[in-house]
Amino acid sequence: MSSLDEHDLMIEADVRASDYLRSVSTRNVYPDQSQIAALSEFDEALPEYPTDPFDMLRKLDMLGSPATSVSTGPNYLGFVIGGLLPAAAAADRMVSVWDQCASSHANSPIAAKLESVAKDWVLDILDLPRGAAIGFGTSATACGLSCFAAARRELLARQNWDLDNDGLVGAPEIKVVLPDIAHITIFKALRILGFGRRHIRLAKTDKRGRIDSDTLPPLDRNTILCLQAGEVNSGEFDPFIPLIGKAQKAGAWVHVDGAFGLWARATQTHRHLTEGLEQADSWTTDGHKWLNTPYDSAMAIVKDGDAFARALNADAVYATAEPHAQKNLTLEFSRRARGIPIWAVLKTLGRQGVSDMVERHCRQAKMLAKGIDGKNGIQVINNVVLNQVLCTTNGDETPADFTARMNATGKVWFGTSVWRGKPAFRLSVSNWRTTDSDIERAISILTQKRFSRL
Ligand SMILES: Cc1ncc(COP(=O)(O)O)c(C=O)c1O
């Protein structure tokens, strides 16, 4: 391909991408059956010879774009996955063409610089210990796994157990205490690390989904306690002050899963929900949820950055680096500079812009809850403390049927869930594009009676 063609191809990709973005407010939020069926056109044999990249791109857009779930549009109220801020998308475009292996300063001075600035800004806006280290990883799942690995290694090291050389055979048992409604990915991370489910102690949560600190299982210096800032269904927060107080007395390690909820800390109105969590040892959060960065964008934040870097170190004879190089704080050795879109969002929104976005979503969630509760058989069953609205139906339509009927309109999309053993559906507001008019529109769709035409 000539450099002229390369230039034209990139322009065509950008034009197609911006055409897609221009359509996200009016597109059906989810593809219909025919658009999904058309994906079978991708079922072809591996090409023996080169294909024209322009043809490839055309096919990708013509068949692919209609088969997207338009989660980057304003009417997507499904999983808490945010949208894509233009500044983040633009910065990510540069990251793609720079094609940096952002493992260390030696491999990419620009990535190392901006990820270091992003680290300082994230610690500042979330008001977490300024000396902490941040690994910019792929997901809250991977970042949680990294934090648990560091926590276990450190708790054992405090008892002079050399995990790196002696492994776990014969080591003191490290226990884990989790809320009984911890996110599934916490269980996954622990399972991968070899913490058997039967050895995990579950802390009882109250009706709202917060750990009851009076019934917390015993903690000691061999315990990792995992707390939640933003429970995935209800949006609730554990009571950090009493729980972390107990953990500190016992010498336990405290980890906070704040995949989306940690961003409440960037606001004035909702910060109180997070009070005390700054005393924890580690935290995870995502950029690709409430900060509206592209995938894969997450953060593992560890107060004792040196302990974290010792646990994740990957220095090789041909690739040694500064201890806090990103390859020594994440699971990857070769990696994308995921901190750059995070830097771009913080640079363009600033402290005030992030706070405004998060506060707006929380206000809109309340507006949504008020607009639908008691109508069309809908019952809101959570305290809308954040951006999550959890509902059930009490008419003759199950939550699953109701959800399917609404999603079939193509005008909204959200998912089902289960709360305290009962079927539910869940609406999340986390996209920068969602305006109050979009919420009003969603209310009118959700309160349409069955059999009426939309
Ligand atoms: C509370 C909570 N923790 C962890 C995760 C996992 O995050 P990720 O999808 O980035 O792995 C999620 C994702 O929905 C979540 O809501």
* 427-439: burial string, b at 16+ Cβ within 10 Å, e else: bbbbbbbbeeebb
Name the fold adopted by 90-346.
Aspartate Aminotransferase; domain 2 (3.40.640)
Q: How far is the CA of 421 from the centre of ligand 1 (A)?
A: 21
Residue to mutate (ligand 1; options 146, 148, 185, 234; most atoms within 8 A of CB): 185
Nearest atom within ligand 1 for CA of residue 261:
1
The residues pairing with 393 across neighbouring beta strands, listed in sequence order, are 378
The pLDDT of residue 453 is 47
Nearest atom within ligand 1 for CA of residue 296:
10
Q: How far is the CA of 48 from the centre of ligand 1 (A)?
A: 40
Give Cβ neighbours of residue 135 (< 8 Å, ≥ 6 apart).
143, 146, 299, 300, 302, 308, 312, 326, 329, 330
The pLDDT of residue 3 is 76
Ligand 1 close to Cβ of residue 183 (< 6 A): yes
User: What value, to the nearest 5°, has the Cα angle with vertex 187 and ends 183 and 191?
Assistant: 165
User: How crowded is residue 415: how many other Cβ atoms within 10 Å of its Cβ?
Assistant: 15
Ligand 1 close to Cβ of residue 185 (< 6 A): yes
Q: Which two tokens stand for residue 186?
A: 């916490």
Give Cβ neighbours of residue 411 (< 8 Å, ≥ 6 apart).
28, 29, 75, 441, 445, 454
Residue where the block lists tokens 């044999």: 45
Nearest in space to 126 (alpha carbons), one of 339, 354, 325, 338 = 354
The pLDDT of residue 4 is 65
Nearest atom within ligand 1 for CA of residue 79:
14
Could you list the pLDDT tens digit for every one of the 454 residues in the chain? 787 699 999 999 999 999 999 999 999 999 999 999 999 999 999 999 999 999 999 999 999 999 999 999 999 999 999 999 999 999 999 999 999 999 999 999 999 999 999 999 999 999 999 999 999 999 999 999 999 999 999 999 999 999 999 999 999 999 999 999 999 999 999 999 999 988 899 999 999 999 999 999 999 999 999 999 999 999 999 999 999 999 999 999 999 999 999 999 999 999 999 999 999 999 999 999 999 999 999 999 999 999 999 999 999 988 888 999 999 999 999 999 999 999 999 999 999 999 999 999 999 999 999 999 999 999 999 999 999 999 999 878 999 999 999 999 999 999 999 999 999 999 999 999 999 999 999 999 999 987 654 4
Give Cβ neighbours of residue 4 (< 8 Å, ≥ 6 apart).
none
Distance CA(161)–CA(169), nearest Å, equals 11
* Distance from the Cα of residue 132 to its chain's centroid: 20
Distance CA(5)–CA(1), nearest Å, equals 6
Nearest atom within ligand 1 for CA of residue 257:
3
Which long-range CB contacts under 8 A does 15-18 form with residues at least 24 apart? 16/57, 16/61, 16/65
Give Cβ neighbours of residue 86 (< 8 Å, ≥ 6 apart).
21
Ligand 1 close to Cβ of residue 80 (< 6 A): yes
Ligand 1 close to Cβ of residue 223 (< 6 A): no
Q: Max alpha carbon distance in the chain (Å)?
A: 69
The pLDDT of residue 319 is 83
Q: Which two tokens stand for residue 144?
A: 């949680």
Ligand 1 close to Cβ of residue 426 (< 6 A): no
Q: Is the sign of the CA dihedral 229, 231, 232, 235 positive or negative?
A: negative
Residue nearest to atom 13 of ligand 1 (CA): 259
Residue to mutate (ligand 1; options 71, 80, 141; most atoms within 8 A of CB): 141
